[in-house]
Amino acid sequence: MEDEDIEKAVLAYLRKKGLKLTELALQEEQSRLSSDASHSRSQNVADRYFDGYSRLRSWAYNSLDSYKHELLRVLYPVFIHCFMDLVAQGYMQEARTFFHTFREDHEMMHLRDLQKLEGILSPSHLEEMELARFSRQNKVKIRLCQYSYGLLLQFIHKTKSFDMLGVINQHINFEVTPGQPTSISDDSEAVSLVGASQDLARELNQKELHWGLLEDSVEERMEKALSDSDRTEVEGNKEGDPEENNKKKTDGNKQGTSVSNKKKKDKAVGATGKTTRSETSMVSVAPRVKSELTLPQLPPEVELSILEDLRNRAQLNSLALPSVSFYTFLHTHNGLNCSAISHDGSLVAGGFSDSSVKVWDMAKIGQPGRASNSQGENGSMQGMHSLASDEAKRPYSLLQGHSGPVYSVSFSPFADFLLSSSSDNTIRLWSTRLNANLVCYKGHNFPVWDAQFSPVGHYFATASHDRTARVWSMERIQPLRVMAGHLSDVDCVQWHPNCNYIVTGSSDKTVRLWDVQSGECARLFIGHRSMVLSLAISPDGRFMASGDEDGTIIMWDLSTGRSVSPIMGHNSCVWTLAFSCEGTLLASGSADCMVKLWDVTSSMKALKTDESKSGPTSRLRLLKALPTKSTPVYNLRFSRRNLLFAAGALSAGS
């Protein structure tokens, strides 16, 4: 007979004989013993987790330096799963003690996740919180060298840490590599999620993707026209050779020699320019695709402007770096949230916490304002003249209409329109010529973090706290497409050069590429370890760069969906990224007050020469770091002539 059956029989006998006091005393004794047993059991479980993790932590930190950085990768996933296992078993107090004891080890790399996990107060929260549910449903893949993996197994078996072994078996997959340990700079790519999300990414990344450029685009037509004119000029020079020779014979030897030398120099310059263009520009060799959107027609004067810019475009490479023009906002460090620069740098816009948008015309900076001195006959007229006088004195145009902080501003490709998005859940379209609000677009349910015009104008995309991105047309007040799939805020959005796709970066640490026509996700990029704050797509449409809160920049191949060149680019948030016009350079701007220029040509060449490798083929090479005095970099933009514009707000106390 079991003990429980005996106790039940004794209680039934006492109840039958009417011995109530004895029955109550026995029940109290049983409850006391059971509570003591459960408390002892909870203490045993908590102590096992605490002791097991403590030993693993001490062993990892005391390992040889060659292997320490690899072994330390194991600690964070083991830590969070030990905590969640204790919560799931109902040991809340023990779980809180465990969490706060070891939290400090992981705050530098995982502070945002720890702040979310700290809110878990009951087992039900494990199912309600997306981060916890996502972590428990997926495994973490950790890359270790064969020797580090062997050391870990020896430690677990030697110390008989079976609780830690259970956590590791259930939640971690090891990718064991032969040879030497990976570099400490590879940590960002050595730890990744596998499971449902990875399976989804693998499935999505096998879809067909038309990453090329638009056929018969303005730039393509202009480049053809330029190349034809260059060819005609060269042929004209060849036909003119006999005439030049005759002229040289009649002129003096000195003059003939001078003309000959000048001609040789011109030919050499032309040849050099042609070589540089063919070697550095990858736009001309990109495949051409048809647009799935109805694109607007460009006015003739705009096409002429583009042609002039292409004629005067500087060819950039690792030896020829761009000139940089930096716009610094003064006395706005507490109010400026975002900035934008027009394609030619003539207009600069800022979005502020007081819900205003300000636009500066660079041509008018420094010019004295012409205030009206006329006086009105009554108070209202005087007030109007006073207002006009104030507006004339201001060096900027003030655009008011939002009812909350403005989080993004974006100029149209030809700077005739300006978009702004705000915490009031709206997007506003402004005319830069009239300095007036034209349309207020409503559709998002929460603050709109980002809004970006398409490369051809007319269409724009937005990113919001409601976890969606939306595609709009200027002529309609409702969105054309709603892209839903991210697990957290969509923080940034960017258009593909062919306008058939948009890419979004999210606080869920992923980047997604969406088909504008269908609204479906076409690529899922997993690799960042913090929220993604900035995006840029190369001019040929094949590569994408993404920057996150930790300062990491990752280059992605859109055709395959895999990482090409992950780097620890900055010491703080990467707020902005921009490719040069021919795609040879990448510029990054950060909260660490630095602009950095990276050579992407070598990465692309390495990728093309070794398509069979599954891992990253190379790393971006830093060409130049440009520190500001004390100005975090909010925005970067290459003009069509390859001049790099940058903007930021000078920090307090500088």
Most confident of 169-173, 385-389, 643-647: 643-647
Residue 338 has a pLDDT of 95
Let me know how long the chain is: 654
Residue 559 exposed, middle or buried by CB count within 10 Å (0-12, 13-18, 19+) = middle
Q: Could you give the domains of the chain?
A: 45-181 (1.25.40.500), 323-364+392-609+617-649 (2.130.10.10)
Question: Which band of pLDDT confidence, cut at 50, 70 and 90, is reported for residue 609?
Answer: low
Q: What is the CA radius of gyration of the chain?
A: 32
Q: Which two tokens stand for residue 229?
A: 């004119």
Residue 43 has a pLDDT of 55
Residue 268 has a pLDDT of 38
For the chain, the straight-line distance linking the first and the last C-alpha, in angstroms and rounded, comes to 82
The more confident residue out of 271 and 57 is: 57
Percent of the chain with pLDDT over 90: 39
CB atoms within 10 A of CB 33: 10
The more confident residue out of 376 and 113 is: 113
Mean pLDDT of 363-369: 72
Counting Cα atoms < 13 Å in the Cβ hemisphere of 35 gives: 6
Each residue's pLDDT tens digit, 560-574 = 888 887 777 888 999
> Has residue 644 got a pLDDT over 80?
yes
Buried b vs exposed e over 586-606: b needs ≥16 C-beta within 10 Å? bbbbbbbbbbbbbbbbbbbeb
Each residue's pLDDT tens digit, 575-585 = 999 999 988 99
Query: Mean pLDDT lowest for which of 364-368, 444-448, 619-623?
Result: 364-368
Question: Which band of pLDDT confidence, cut at 50, 70 and 90, is reported for residue 460?
Answer: very high
Residue 132 exposed, middle or buried by CB count within 10 Å (0-12, 13-18, 19+) = buried
Most confident of 281-285, 347-351, 484-488: 347-351
Secondary structure (DSSP) of 427-468: EEEEETTTTEEEEEEE--SS-EEEEEE-TTSSEEEEEETTSE
Residue 452 has a pLDDT of 96
Each residue's pLDDT tens digit, 74-124 = 999 999 999 999 999 888 888 999 999 998 888 877 777 888 888 888 888
> Has residue 238 got a pLDDT over 70?
no
Q: Which two tokens stand for residue 12?
A: 């039934």
Distant-in-sequence, close-in-space partners of 119: CB < 8 Å, separation ≥ 6:
125, 129
Residue 266 has a pLDDT of 43
**Per-chain mean pLDDT for the chain:** 80
**Please, where are the H alpha helices in 62-88?**
65-71, 75-88
Integer CA distances (angstroms), 444 to 1, 408, 429, 462, 477, in order: 66, 15, 15, 9, 12
DSSP state letter for 503: E
C-alpha–C-alpha distance, residues 395 and 364, integer Å: 7
Query: Mean pLDDT lowest for which of 231-235, 343-347, 370-374, 595-599?
Result: 370-374
Each residue's pLDDT tens digit, 494-515 = 999 989 999 999 988 899 999 9
